Amino acid sequence: MNYNKKTVKDVDVKGKKVLLRCDFNVPMAKDGSGVITDDKRIRAALPTIQYLLDQGAAVIACSHLGKPEPSFDKWAKKQAEKGKDPASLTKEKWEKTLEALCMEPVAKRLSELLGRDVVLAADVVGPDAQAKAAALQPGQIMLLQNTRFEKGETKNDPELAKAMAGLAGADGVYVSDAFGAVHRAHASTAGVAAYLPAVSGFLIEKELEIMGGALANPKRPLVAILGGSKVSSKIGVINHLLDIADTIIIGGGMAYTFAKAQGGSVGTSLLESDWLDYCNDMIAKAKEKGVALLLPEDNLCAAEFSADAVPVLHSAMTIPDDMMGMDIGPKTIEAYAAAVKNAGTVIWNGPMGVFEFPSFAEGTRAVAKALAETDAITIIGGGDSAAAVAQLGFADKMTHISTGGGASLEFLEGKELPGVACLLDK
């Protein structure tokens, strides 16, 4: 995959309308109050937005928010499948689910952060969006309604993509800056690039430069730390990294499947029995390629999955039948920290244990601390790893924390990302 893509600095946007795809999929208060509980994704878009406005562009921003169902019939069917009484599934209730995911709170917060008005359209490509886009002047910004209110968004409908591109006019430009959505071939993330010159914003530029550089030409040794719950979700990542890494460290729930594959006893720990052969294949592949594959030596275990459970230390290969692994143990922490210490580049995706429970957060905290203290380039691959690093207070010590969860994972697998592939090459 080509990571060398044109950016906003490679095109002239003065006096032009720019369709800007952001990732404003922010968490909202669950009480329906419309309060944004974390605005970091909005803040992350500010450098690109401010640059475009300063360059004299008229910015038409767009994003999805949540997972609205734009069809009443499909919404009612899904609710019924969840056991809801079909008689209670009214259009009024469906409309309320859409209302809860409208972009008004985002427009309000964006306006506060920019210190200028943000015009909010009542639709995506309808009459209101068209009128407001036509009236938009250089140096002004508007926000379209939730892109997923359109049925064709997730299907990458060319007619919808064409209509969205049309809002920017014949000499418009498309700027992609939603890294968290580039692994999806949607109308607003990839389809519009068929109708407008497409370049990246600063967020995606940084992701491609740092993550792409770490995969294509890493400062060595390259150490990859992979955690999380399931081997099945990291198959492609492990396989791809075995071709390029010097050391791969395994932690989290998926380590128990590796232990079982080698004849260990894992008690009631998380286990994917269907993936035992795969684990042994990966161990063999690592040996064949000369990659150091580090697995836990010891684990903190508990009799139940609970924050109040008492931690008990056991060898990783001899967890009692009535106990489950919850975190890596002190010997493992020491080995993993030593592997990180002299690395040139470290990529980390997935926690080492149940870090949400204080008694089982030490493995994840220790790995984060090791990354914070190394001189290596340190890259956190989004999702739970990013949350853990922030929660544990090490975020400012990392070289780069990816803004994409699923996108970061697919990036590490070496997959082509539709929202990146559609951008113009340099």
- Between CA 373 and CA 12 the distance in angstroms is 42
pLDDT value for 181: 93
Is residue 59 a contact partner of residue 20, using CB atoms and an 8 Å limit? Answer: yes
Which residue of the set 34, 169, 344, 406 is catalytic? 406
The torsion region of residue 65 among left (phi > 0), alpha (psi -120 to 50) and beta comes to beta
pLDDT value for 200: 98
pLDDT value for 28: 87
Neighbours of 19 (CB within 10 A): 26
> Which tens digit of pLDDT belongs to each residue from 27-72?
988 877 788 998 989 999 999 999 999 999 999 999 999 999 888 8
Closest CA to 412 of 249, 214, 258: 214
Low-confidence spans in the chain with pLDDT less than 70? 1, 382
Handedness of CA 330, 332, 333, 337 (dihedral sign): positive
Which residue of the set 41, 109, 206, 260 is catalytic? 41
Which residue of the set 383, 404, 405, 419 is catalytic? 383
pLDDT value for 306: 96
pLDDT value for 75: 87
> Which tens digit of pLDDT belongs to each residue from 296-342?
999 999 999 999 999 999 999 999 999 999 999 999 999 999 999 99
Which residue of the set 230, 285, 331, 397 is catalytic? 230
pLDDT value for 86: 86
pLDDT value for 99: 84
The 3-state DSSP class for residue 413 equals helix
Q: Euclidean distance between the first and final Cα of the chain, in Å?
A: 13
- Between CA 206 and CA 9 the distance in angstroms is 13
pLDDT value for 424: 97
> What angle separates helix 383-391 from helix 406-413, to the nearest 10 degrees?
120
Closest CA to 194 of 424, 415, 12: 424
Residue 1's contacts (CB-CB under 8 Å, 6 or more residues apart) are 414, 415, 416, 417, 420, 421
Is residue 369 annotated as part of the catalytic site, yes or no? no
- Between CA 244 and CA 291 the distance in angstroms is 9
Q: What is the CA radius of gyration of the chain?
A: 23
Instruction: Locate 136 and state its tokens.
Output: 């938009």
Is residue 184 annotated as part of the catalytic site, yes or no? no
pLDDT value for 392: 86
Is residue 126 annotated as part of the catalytic site, yes or no? no
What is the residue type of 211? M
CA of residue 186 relative to chain centroid, distance: 16
Is residue 21 annotated as part of the catalytic site, yes or no? no
- Between CA 40 and CA 151 the distance in angstroms is 28
Burial 354-382 (b: 16+ CB within 10 A, else e): bbebebbbbbbbbbbbbbbebebbbbbbb
String of DSSP letters for 262-313: TT-EETTS---GGGHHHHHHHHHHHHHHT-EEE--SEEEEESSSSTTPPPEE
